[in-house]
Structure 1
Amino acid sequence: MKLLVLPFGDAACASTHYRVLQYLDMLKKDGIDCEVLAPGEMPAPAVIAESDTVLVQKKLFPAHQVRTLRKHAKRLLFDIDDATWHPHGRKHSWWTRWRTNRRLQSIVRAADVSLVANLYIAGHLNALGGKTQVLPMALKAEDWPRSESTQAVRIRLGWSGAPVNLCYLEALEPVLAQVMGKHPEVELAVFCGKQPAFSTSLPYLHLPWRQGGEPDAVKTFHIGLLPLPTDAFSQGKSPIKALQYMAAGIPTIATPQAGSVEIGQGADCMFFAENPQQWSERLCQLIQDNELRGKMGTNARAAFEERFSSTQTYSRWKSFLLGT
């Protein structure tokens, strides 16, 4: 079998890495040949036709290019892990909204199957006439060691993320200052390529970002922080940091957006907080209760291994590629 991938980004793009590239070694072991094109590249019709399956990973091509893909592809899949039809950080013009919606509708109707990261995205694509299957985000379990002991003298609150998302952590500053003032045994660690711009002298340990350094950083956390904005785009996110915290076996406190709630559902490993008071209460509860942290951490790792390990999701991913 030959798989042709039209990716959204390169190897440094988290979406492309977690939705496609991390599975390539497994495909190779199963004798499946995979060619990954450059981001945005549209192959010639002959290249499309000689592939058994074409996978479009989140990229929204113009409708005429989608028609070309559909005409020549034996099997066409679309994969998406974000609510890209909603603006992210800036408003969309009417033209951008129209173009985005037209391109999205074009690919989801043309695809044999759309693979989506969560039920929120599935609902939207189904309404557009798509045929969806939920394939959750995943991580390689062997890359993620368990967190340090929950009985540590210093209790570390941890946040891991990209510089563009630091504003969500910075919005928690008043809560963090209050909680850390009550509990001198607590420290804050930030794994990021940029330091947070707190308005006060809130103490924190900056763990400089490095490629592949997430497991080493997150395993030093005892409580994972996952604040998100309450906007439409974030409703469709399946935050990879939620899975990182779960893989490390630590409890998480998160904003209750749809994708995050779906990840934590039934696992008893995640608290949700909608306002500063709830954030403060949940933080204090976990800080003061070593046993609860340990129990939730054990639940987190178990849920991760059962539902979000790449070895668990790969077999389903391959079956969608093969159409079996």
Structure 2
Amino acid sequence: MSSASERIPRAVSPDTKPRTIDFWVHDPEAPSFRHRLAALFPTLEARGFICRTEVFPRRRYATRVLERLARLREIDLLVIAKLKLLPFEARIVRRAARRIVYDFDDAIYLGKPERPGKAPDDSFFRRSKFAATCRAADLVVVGSPALAREAKRWARRVELVPTAVDVSRYSPDVPRTGNRLVWIGQPGNLPYLDLVRAPLQELSREMPDLRLRVVCNRFPQWPELRLERLFWSDATEAAALATSDVGLMPLSDDAWAAGKGAFKLLQYMAAGLPAVASPVGMNRTVVVPGATGFLASDPKAWLDSLRFLLRFPEKRRVMGEIARRRVESEYDLQVIAPKVADLYVSAIGERGGAGEIRRS
């Protein structure tokens, strides 16, 4: 019927009654769930929560909710992770659950475009599911300002909380070659890297020893560039970034990309790297131009920014140090996780006012 895993909290005060949180998610191995929610479990357990992950079917409408009704009435909090309920399912869940949090870090109210720059699919069916799930929640937690604006149309209370990065996994003090650019991401996002192929090609003509490291499970075929193909793994991704020099995050300027949470930028910063990124969505918030990296809106800006960072190693080093300090103070897991735990406690205890947006 369902697949679930449960984590028991660490020892807490005998006077503290454990509270149970169920996380409904389509794929618990997806990077967004692992980084955004599963990484919070140790902090939540230390606060006395029992965290249970439930694999929620993509189809089997109605049945998938009805078979979970008894469980919903027992738990203290339901966290709906990135999925969307049909309107009648949302009403059933609202009646059965004590408190509900809806969490997402992508523009799930749209369909992903076929290619960067193409208009995303914007269907009534998808929008109606998204709106119904927002309305059912006591609290909506989102990963970027664009998502907050959209959620505000339907939700009682909205909190903007970036996806945290575990800074302790990244060592910025490692030898570097001075000529290695890096991009990390899922295979489905490789088309964004194509957006900067031309400036990278021009740069490689100026700097014949330039290398582009791609950390992924699929790779571009660019014979004009010296590519380093590194298969992604959780065990090696931090070292793959730390031994690079400059991070890349190109995006198209569209409604889908605007919802992205800039997580790869936070990974670069944790590794002590300056980054060049498109001025889209959360990228504008994360990058401090001239201090932690640059925002580049066209091929010339990409070329100039990368050329500067590669030609001036001391500037690059200082910007990387500033980037590391910024992610430590604002986006580290040790900073974000307690804030989310506080939000869950408040969601259990109260309901927010209509249309309210807060930043955490």
What is the TM-score with the length of structure 2 in the denominator?
0.83
Asked if the contact 1:154–1:185 (Cα under 8 Å) also holds between the matched residues in 2, the reply is: no
Asked if the contact 1:118–1:236 (Cα under 8 Å) also holds between the matched residues in 2, the reply is: yes
Q: Is 1:308 matched with 2:335?
A: no
Q: What is the aligned counterpart of 1:66 among 84, 90, 106?
A: 90
Asked if the contact 2:287–2:295 (Cα under 8 Å) also holds between the matched residues in 1, the reply is: no
Partner of 2:215: 191
In structure 2, do the counterparts of structure 1 residues 34 and 296 end up closer, same or farther at CA, with 3 Å as the change threshold?
Answer: same
Shift of residue 50 of structure 1?
Answer: 0.9
Q: How many percent of aligned residue pairs carry the same amino acid?
A: 25
Q: Which runs of 5+ in 1 are unaligned?
A: none
Asked if the contact 1:224–1:252 (Cα under 8 Å) also holds between the matched residues in 2, the reply is: yes
Look up the SS of the partner of 1:258 in the other structure: coil
| Residue correspondence of structure 1 range 85-164 to structure 2 within 5 A | 85-90=109-114, 97-146=123-172, 148-149=174-175, 152-164=176-188
Please state which structure has a larger fraction of its residues in helix. 1
Q: What is the aligned counterpart of 2:268 among 220, 242, 245?
A: 245
Find runs of 4+ consecutive structure 1 residues off by over 4 angstroms. Answer: 91-94
What is the TM-score with the length of structure 1 in the denominator?
0.92
Shift of residue 238 of structure 1?
Answer: 0.8
Q: What is the aligned counterpart of 1:182 among 206, 209, 212?
A: 206
- Code of the residue aligned with 1:46 in structure 2: it is A
Give the Cα–Cα distance (whole angstroms) in 1 for the partners of residues 334 and 52 of structure 2.
21
Partner of 2:309: 286
Look up the SS of the partner of 1:253 in the other structure: strand
**Farther-moved stretch of structure 1 (103-112 vs 82-91):** 82-91
**Farther-moved stretch of structure 1 (127-136 vs 312-321):** 127-136
**1:238-282 deviations in Å (ceiling 9; x for gaps):** 132111101101000001111111222589312111111111000
**1:185-217 deviations in Å (ceiling 9; x for gaps):** 43221111122122x432211112224321011
Give the Cα–Cα distance (whole angstroms) in 1 for the partners of residues 325 and 75 of structure 2.
38
Partner of 2:41: 24
Q: Which runs of 5+ in 2 are unaligned?
A: 1-18, 58-63, 350-360
Look up the SS of the partner of 2:55 in the other structure: coil
Give the Cα–Cα distance (whole angstroms) in 1 for the partners of residues 92 and 173 of structure 2.
49
Asked if the contact 1:53–1:322 (Cα under 8 Å) also holds between the matched residues in 2, the reply is: no
The alignment's C-alpha RMSD in Å is: 1.9
Partner of 2:340: 317
Q: Is 1:212 matched with 2:213?
A: no
Asked if the contact 1:153–1:185 (Cα under 8 Å) also holds between the matched residues in 2, the reply is: no
Shift of residue 78 of structure 1?
Answer: 0.4
- Code of the residue aligned with 2:46 in structure 1: it is K
**1:160-193 deviations in Å (ceiling 9; x for gaps):** 1122222222332221121122123432211111
